[in-house]
Amino acid sequence: MSHKEFSLGLNGATIVRASLEAGLTAAREAGFSFYEPRIPTLADCEERGCRKDVLDSLSDAGLSWLPLNALEGLFELAPDRLLARAEEIFSLAEQFNVRQVIIVPGKGRPSLSAAQELLAEISVLGSKHGVSLLYEFIGFAEHAFPSLGEARAVASGAGLPLVLDTFHLAVGCTDPGQIASLPTEAIGLVHLSDALTAGKQVAEITDSDRVLPGEGGLPLAGYVKAIVDTGYAGPFSVEVFHPKYGLGEPEMVAQDAFRRASQLLNEVAKEV
């Protein structure tokens, strides 16, 4: 197996300075097959009237969309506000032919049954726009359902696949064996991210510590291998937030992201 058998995508947060058009160009030229858009860049494009040009360039570049990232504040926002925000986001996704949206839990603490009921309601709303949902596992202790087991229970009860993020797997102190035991269909997308860990406990690392694979201290190969061991054959998307990437040229950041992610997946390929 070689890394070419893995599909690589680029999350727009990694090249935060880039417009949607520039992000697609940077991703294509770096070698990515997918682009994971974020709400602000889609909304900006829509306001500037560039939607048709973006959709044409996406097709011409041979790129495909990953899910729109993200409907946030789940279980934290008041239900009426959450549903209104969901309607806005699903409508935006529909306009750009993005067929999936990631939903991210906030800091609320609902019961399992209440969480599943809310997810089902949001799923029905998404279906009216031709949008399906993925539930992202967030490992921060202050967020709802911060263990993989809890996230799996919430998502599976609502019939949603998970987004697994190597950063949040680490923050949640997730055992690779638990990951490997997931059914293949439980995983819908994987975010790749390393983190700066020197002098910090795992619980102390934050999103601003997130760096490209190989630049930090997380055991990424072990997590990726566990994910692959489930039979997962979908995309891996590079998503990092360290402020330093905003200082670099998007094209160069994208190229470095592709190189480092490819190297990681090559390493894993040798073991499976």
Residue 245 pLDDT grade (very low, low, confident, very high; cuts 50, 70, 90)? very high
8-state DSSP, 188: E
The pTM for the full model equals: 0.96
Q: Is the pLDDT assigned to residue 164 strictly greater than 80?
A: yes
Tell me the C-alpha distance between 21 and 53, whole Å.
Answer: 8
Q: What average pLDDT does the segment 134-144 reach?
A: 97
CATH number, domain of 123, equals 3.20.20.150
Residue 4 pLDDT grade (very low, low, confident, very high; cuts 50, 70, 90)? very low
pLDDT value of position 126: 98
Q: Taking the CA atoms of 29, 35, 41 and 44 in sequence, report the sign of the dihedral they define.
A: positive
Residues 4 and 37 sit within 8 Å (Cβ to Cβ): no
pLDDT, tens only, 29-71:
999 999 999 999 999 999 999 999 999 888 888 899 999 999 9
Q: Do the strands 235-238 and 7-11 form a parallel or antiparallel pair, or are they unpaired?
A: parallel
Residue 263 pLDDT grade (very low, low, confident, very high; cuts 50, 70, 90)? very high
Q: What average pLDDT does the segment 115-135 reach?
A: 97
Total domain count, the chain:
1
SS3 letters across 100-147: EEEEEECCCCCCHHHHHHHHHHHHHHHHCCCCEEEEECCCCCCCCCCC
Q: Do the strands 68-74 and 235-238 form a parallel or antiparallel pair, or are they unpaired?
A: unpaired
Residue 272 pLDDT grade (very low, low, confident, very high; cuts 50, 70, 90)? confident
Domain of residue 218, residue span: 3-269
pLDDT value of position 73: 93
